[in-house]
Amino acid sequence: MYIEAFSLYFLRALLVTSIFQLGLYFFDLYDLSGEMEAGDVFARIIQAFGTGCIVLGIIYYFVPYIIISTRIFWTGYAAICVSIFAWRFLYNQVLVKKLFSKPVVVLGAGKLASEIAQQVEMSRDSGYTISAFVGKTNPSFSLPAYIPVNPDNNELLRECQKYKAEKIVVALDDWRGSTPIAPLLQCKMIGITIENGISFYEGLTGKILVEKVNPSWLIFSSGFRKSNLCSFGKRILDVIASLTGLLISSPASLLSAVIIKLESPGPVFYTQERVGDAGRLFKVVKFRSMRSDAEKDGPVWARQNDTRVTRFGGFIRKVRIDEIPQMWNVLTGEMSFVGPRPERPVFVEQLTKSIPYYALRHTVKPGITGWAQICYPYGASEEDALRKLEYDLYYIKNMSIRMDMWIIFQTIKTVLFQKGSR
């Protein structure tokens, strides 16, 4: 009897906790990278919990035996709102003042050092504070004025001791003949961690700085592992996710097909040749969102407010309904649910010539969603392709089932809030 009562109370508590945590997540209250005003935080907490209450109300209607008493629920609700707001306020102060950040010394004062400094400054939750730069400055790249710069590489150990830094980030733009080996060895031998600037930047941003990476870094860096177990697990996840997605979306797909057919002449589905794994070509399938003669003058990049898009096509692009048929490509094994966005052969040929390592995207199956898709807004230029490649390479380097599941979870949020559509 006691076990049954405990199990019921545990189920009730788990349900309420899970729904409220999801609410906090979908209202960006777990995103600590940017500063948020106190009023905005409080408003989002109320919105998240209000949405949670509505969801709980629906569940309680169908499953009444798990209802929590009104007095306990609202007492707990008020206490949680106040405690979360107070905790987030205190934690925000810790992030703003960087109270527990680890001091680091950056070896280098050029472009890479400047980009690392910018990322550390932008990311309140990076966990690091740059105490000093060591190296000759380059006037073409600005460094934070309040961080001291020591031009003498031989002073590296003294700078670390001065600021009690336990890590040196080597951010030299050119390693050839300019790496201070003796000072670095001296620091290494007394226990100071030495980290490559590209790797440090990768950990801060979740992307690989393609323009600064040399082949040796790619060859000798950890990652880029493809085990049979991971491939098998990824395929199982693909099949389950695509079958579930096709089943859930079938009413919306049927309605969309009817409207597309009625709105403009042409087929319901739109097929286009794309580059897949190992450079193999395949036909991607989507709901048609443009006029049937959209490319009568040849292939062009998609544009913001593209005039070729039909009225209903604009809607299904915004809510990502046009992507649903790609799940058939996943089922047939031509695509994965998660991976780099499949690109057209004409653009692949163009981008491979102008962007270093672009062909490495095709060492894995392309995906409906991916790390680049959730981290970078929809892009339609060579510059955008370069920025998205930085995220694609990070995904390929760190690919795992856990990462795929996280990306799918993030994609649900992105679709619900209609981010990055074009």
Does the pLDDT value for residue 250 go beyond 90?
Answer: yes
- CB–CB of 352/358 below 8 Å? yes
Instruction: Provide the 10 A C-beta neighbour count for residue 413.
Output: 15
**Average of per-residue pLDDT values in the chain:** 87
- Structure-block tokens of residue 309: 């898009």
In a domain, 219, yes or no: no
Position 421 scores a pLDDT of: 46
The share of the chain scoring above pLDDT 70, in percent, equals 93
- pLDDT tens, position by position, 372-417: 999 987 767 888 899 999 999 999 999 999 999 999 988 888 777 6
Identify which of 134, 127, 143, 113 has the alpha carbon closest to the alpha carbon of residue 204: 127
pLDDT in tens, 5-27: 778 888 888 888 888 888 888 88
Please count the structural domains in the chain: 3
- Domain housing 320: 228-416
Task: For residue range 148-160, list pLDDT tens digits in order.
Answer: 999 999 999 999 9
pLDDT at residue 296 in the model: 56
* pLDDT (0 to 100) of residue 422: 46
Judge if 170 and 256 occupy the same domain: no
The answer on 315 and 242 residing in a single domain is yes
Answer yes or no: do 190 and 299 share one domain.
Answer: no
Q: What percent of the chain has pLDDT over 90?
A: 48
Per-residue pLDDT, 8? 80
Domain membership of residue 221 (yes or no) is: no
393 in the same domain as 334:
yes
* 343 and 385 inside one domain: yes
As given in the structure block, the two tokens for residue 117 are 């400094």
pLDDT confidence of 336, banded at 50, 70, 90? very high
Tokens of 290: 């443009």
Q: Tell me, yes or no, whether 83 and 24 share the same domain.
A: yes
The mean pLDDT value for 100-105 works out to 92
Give the pLDDT band (50/70/90) at residue 107: very high
If asked whether residues 291 and 305 sit together in one domain, one would say yes
Indicate whether 420 pLDDT > 60: no
Q: Are residues 46 and 84 in the same domain?
A: yes
pLDDT of residue 295: 59
Q: pTM here?
A: 0.85
pLDDT tens string 174-212: 877 678 999 999 999 999 999 999 999 999 999 999 988
Task: Check whether residue 131 and residue 12 sit in a common domain.
Answer: no
> Which pLDDT belongs to residue 34?
65
pLDDT value at position 121? Answer: 85
Confidence (pLDDT) at 414: 78
Which pLDDT value is given to residue 234? 94
Range from 28-32, 247-251, 274-278, 348-352 carrying the lowest mean pLDDT: 28-32
Tell me the C-alpha to C-alpha distance, in Å, between residue 217 and each of 111, 207, 209, 379, 393.
Answer: 18, 14, 11, 27, 13
